[in-house]
Amino acid sequence: MTNPAHSEAAPRHTKPLIQKAAKAFMALAFSIDAVRETIAPANEQIKKEGRADSQKRKLKPGLTS
């Protein structure tokens, strides 16, 4: 007895669609990585400035948060 879900091969037109979807997904993943690499230096600068600001606040007596 055969399994009906596997008795027929997928239609031929689905393979090109799957290939296009895979290419689009890879392009999207590459774009996301490129964006992360682009904004990483800015994020580091923001973190450094934030740390410097918090250090300045700690040094000033009488300043309450």
Angstrom distances, CA of residue 25 to CA of 10, 18, 32, 36 = 21, 10, 11, 17
Instruction: Note whether 63 and 57 are within 8 A (CB).
Output: yes
Q: Which of 44, 41, 40, 46 is nearest to 54 (CA)?
A: 46
In whole angstroms, give the CA distance from residue 64 to residue 25: 50
Residue 50: per-residue pLDDT: 84
Q: pLDDT tens digit string along 36-45? A: 999 999 999 9
63 pLDDT exceeds 90?
Answer: no
Q: pLDDT tens digit string along 1-56? A: 456 556 566 667 788 889 999 999 999 999 999 999 999 999 999 998 887 777 77
Instruction: Note whether 48 and 40 are within 8 A (CB).
Output: no
Residue 13: per-residue pLDDT: 74
